[in-house]
């Protein structure tokens, strides 16, 4: 928009009842993108105060969480845990028996964990990484190190199927060593459970893998040294309280397959020890992805090809009422295949029995709903067929495809759409995106926005998910980072009031300089978010490198940001020009040497107890030079005030 011969660009925000607010681009850092797992925000009316109340409530909850975490970790730091010695020959033997080459991230996480064990403070490390990225191997090496030192290890998992899977993995890897591994879940008979509990009490069981059965009152350990928790967010309140107490006494490793966003990592890094595994294993191959019309011959060929190479198939049909017809149709299409069925409306025992039979290879095809979206790791299942793929969200498609391709075999994903069914533009875009995102890690980037939000909710808890829904993910993370900093300092940080600037200067990024609108908006946000002079220098260099020499309008924009940074430092909240008069406020003019300003600007300057006014028509020099001179004087008065405060403190 152009006002008084000055052109500026604005963001237009639309509120409830059609109300509008124009935000100058140099303040676009005050606007955050609302994203919360596909939810839509509730619009408020301008001036109602609803948004301020919501933000204040979330800020208070985030602060409480940050302080609780800080106190928990302070107690852990103060406690003395068991200090392990260097790795033994057996530790090295287990390391070298690993059949794969560790990825860089995996190797770093192993160093982190073993470094924690060498320290005398109890370990509490969160290991984040997709399923199949090697978290279990890290936990196993830590468990073996603990057992070598005479300690016991408990591995806590949310489902009996996962318990069975971990039990098989631990038993296989540790078979060459004198280590007793047991499983404690309702899949074991009462007699077996009693024997395992007795072995834990007398110390003859070294490692126990179990469900919430492990945290019941009759389970006692002789000398528990390490607890490994898989997907902690899936446990109930009582179990979490028990685990919270454990954290100040024994070493704890928490594993999560929820991808952790970089921003969340930074926000939590000050109060949690986190190892992030982002690198896929070396032998992992990208999943071949096909989007095609439903075709009986294709389905038969795909299933038979997978069975012939000794693999298994997921067939996802997300309608429980018609899943029986699909199973019957598949029996007719591929009579050679052994077919099982699983969905969320089945009895839990029956569902787990079906899943375990599939894990153990008793079925060739599992016809299921999206219950497998975050299921167990089944390396032998390397083909997935998704019926009516156009009805799924991008995140679901990405996560479902991630069920296959866990081993070193080539995996295939088929996204089927009904012939002659018209697709919405959104569905077409989703299917196009999932087909293009076949390189390892690229699917993560495509679906990351929703997954970041879901991940933050998982890692921070259900209550925090609600807060994210209220204010959006991006603002939530800003408040979290601020709350963590406050908790570490032990005092609230004063909230910086935004500086309002309205000056007679054309400050914008011309479309001729950056043509793409999205890129121009992103650049505006990057510029407006700069917090110091160093950031200004960096953005200037980047702009010159990417787009060439800066036009005058961009120079003016950077000058405005520099003025804002300086004003924030001097606690000035407004520099506004109206009817050829520039007003700077608030300024404690009583503590300034105002004679110098009056002598330089004469009648062009008017000084009140709380502000300085410049009449531009009476100025004999450019207003920018005059403004600089005034800010210099304000800065000098601040320096003098600090000197007086120091002198008083010394006296």
- Split at pLDDT 50, 70, 90, the class of 589 is confident
Selection from 209, 200, 131, 199 nearest residue 167 by Cα: 209
User: Rounded CA gap, 253 and 462, in Å?
Assistant: 21
Question: Regarding beta strands 500-502 and 224-230, do their DSSP bridges make them parallel or antiparallel, or are they unpaired?
Answer: unpaired
Question: Contact at 8 Å (CB) between 130 and 402?
Answer: yes
Interval 518-540: pLDDT, tens: 888 888 888 888 888 898 999 99
Interval 187-223: pLDDT, tens: 788 899 999 999 999 999 999 999 888 888 888 899 9
Interval 353-408: pLDDT, tens: 888 888 889 999 999 988 775 556 687 899 999 999 998 877 678 778 878 887 66
Helices (H), 363-503: 394-401, 425-436, 442-460, 462-471, 473-489
Print burial letters for 356-374: b (CB count within 10 Å at least 16), e (below 16): bebbeeebbbbbbbbbbbb
Write down the mean pLDDT value for the chain: 83
| Residue 55 in tokens | 């933000």
Q: For the chain, give the percent of residues with pLDDT over 70.
A: 84
pTM above 0.75, yes or no: no
| Residue 157 in tokens | 């998992």
Statement: residue 57 has pLDDT above 80: yes
SS3 at position 84: coil
Statement: residue 580 has pLDDT above 50: yes
| Residue 202 in tokens | 């007398």
* Mean pLDDT value of segment 151-168: 86
* Mean pLDDT value of segment 506-510: 89
Statement: residue 29 has pLDDT above 90: no
Q: What is the pLDDT of residue 492?
A: 73
Beta bridge partners of 494: none
Q: What is the pLDDT of residue 500?
A: 84
- Split at pLDDT 50, 70, 90, the class of 169 is confident
Question: C-alpha angle 473/479/483, rounded to 5°?
Answer: 140
Statement: residue 429 has pLDDT above 90: no
Q: Which domains does the chain have, with CATH numbers?
A: 75-277 (3.40.50.300), 288-439 (3.40.50.300), 497-650 (3.90.1150.50)
Question: Contact at 8 Å (CB) between 584 and 630?
Answer: yes
Question: Contact at 8 Å (CB) between 465 and 62?
Answer: no
Q: For the chain, give the percent of residues with pLDDT over 90.
A: 27
Question: Contact at 8 Å (CB) between 524 and 509?
Answer: yes
Q: Which long-range contacts (CB under 8 A, 24 or more apart) does 461-467 make?
A: 461/233, 463/61, 464/61, 464/62, 464/65, 467/58, 467/61, 467/62
User: Rounded CA gap, 205 and 276, in Å?
Assistant: 31
- Split at pLDDT 50, 70, 90, the class of 278 is confident
- Split at pLDDT 50, 70, 90, the class of 128 is confident
Q: What is the pLDDT of residue 441?
A: 46
**Between 209 and 461, whose confidence is greater?**
209
């Amino acid at each position: 928009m152009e006002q008084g011969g000055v052109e500026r660009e604005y963001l237009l925000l639309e509120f409830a009842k059609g109300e509008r607010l124009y935000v100058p681009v140099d303040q676009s850092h005050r606007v955050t993108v609302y994203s919360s797992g596909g939810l839509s925000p509730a619009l408020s009316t301008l001036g109602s105060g609803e948004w301020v109340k919501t933000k204040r409530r979330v800020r208070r909850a985030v602060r409480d969480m940050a302080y609780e975490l800080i106190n928990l970790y302070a107690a852990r730091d103060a406690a003395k845990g068991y200090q392990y010695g260097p790795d033994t020959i057996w530790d090295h033997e287990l390391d070298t028996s690993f059949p794969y080459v560790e990825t860089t991230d995996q190797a770093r996480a192993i160093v982190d964990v073993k470094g924690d064990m060498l320290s005398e403070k109890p370990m509490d490390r969160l290991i984040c990484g997709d399923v199949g990225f090697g978290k279990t191997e890290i936990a196993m090496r830590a468990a073996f190190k603990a057992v070598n030192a005479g300690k016991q290890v408990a591995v806590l998992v949310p489902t009996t199927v996962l318990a069975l899977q971990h039990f098989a993995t631990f038993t296989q890897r540790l078979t060459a060593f004198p280590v007793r591994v047991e499983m404690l879940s309702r899949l074991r008979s009462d007699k077996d459970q009693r024997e395992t509990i007795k072995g834990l009490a007398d110390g003859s069981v070294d490692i126990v893998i179990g469900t919430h059965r492990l945290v019941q009152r009759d389970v006692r350990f002789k000398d528990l040294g390490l607890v490994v928790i898989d997907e902690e967010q899936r446990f109930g309140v009582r179990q979490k309280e028990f685990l919270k107490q454990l954290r100040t006494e024994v070493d704890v490793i928490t594993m999560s397959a929820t991808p952790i966003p970089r921003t969340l990592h930074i926000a939590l890094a000050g109060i949690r020890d986190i190892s992030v595994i982002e690198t896929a294993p070396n032998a992992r191959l990208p999943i071949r992805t096909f989007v095609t019309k439903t075709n009986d011959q294709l389905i038969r060929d795909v299933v038979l090809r997978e069975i012939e190479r000794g693999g298994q198939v997921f067939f996802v049909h997300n309608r429980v009422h018609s899943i029986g017809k699909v199973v019957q149709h598949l029996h007719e299409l591929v009579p050679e295949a052994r077919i099982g069925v699983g969905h969320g409306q089945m009895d839990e025992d029956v569902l787990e029995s079906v899943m375990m039979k599939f894990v153990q290879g008793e079925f060739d095809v599992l016809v299921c709903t999206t219950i497998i979206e975050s299921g167990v790791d089944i390396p032998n299942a390397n083909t997935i067929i998704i019926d009516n793929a156009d009805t799924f969200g991008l995140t679901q498609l990405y996560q479902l495809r991630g069920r296959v391709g866990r081993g070193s075999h080539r995996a295939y994903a088929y996204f089927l759409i009904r012939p002659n069914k018209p697709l919405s533009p959104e569905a077409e875009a989703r299917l196009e995106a999932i087909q293009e995102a076949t390189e390892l890690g690229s699917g993560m980037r495509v679906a990351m926005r929703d997954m970041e939000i879901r991940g933050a909710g998982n890692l921070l808890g259900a209550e925090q998910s609600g807060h994210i829904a209220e204010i959006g993910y991006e603002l939530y993370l800003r408040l979290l980072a601020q709350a963590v900093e406050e908790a570490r300092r032990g005092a609230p940080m004063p909230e910086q009031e935004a500086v309002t600037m309205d000056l007679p200067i054309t400050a914008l990024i011309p479309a001729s300089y950056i043509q793409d609108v999205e890129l121009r908006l992103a650049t505006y946000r990057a510029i407006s978010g700069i917090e110091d002079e160093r950031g200004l220098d960096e953005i200037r260099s980047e702009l010159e490198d990417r787009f060439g020499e800066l036009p005058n309008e961009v120079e003016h924009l950077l000058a405005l940001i520099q003025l804002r940074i300086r004003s924030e430092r001097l606690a000035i909240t407004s520099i506004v020009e109206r009817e050829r008069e520039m007003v700077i406020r608030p300024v404690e003019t009583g503590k300034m040497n105002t004679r110098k300003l009056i002598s330089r600007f004469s009648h062009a300057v008017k000084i009140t107890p709380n502000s300085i006014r410049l009449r531009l028509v009476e100025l004999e020099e450019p207003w920018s030079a005059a403004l600089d001179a005034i800010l210099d004087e304000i800065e000098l008065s601040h320096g003098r005030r600090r000197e007086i405060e120091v002198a008083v403190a010394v006296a």
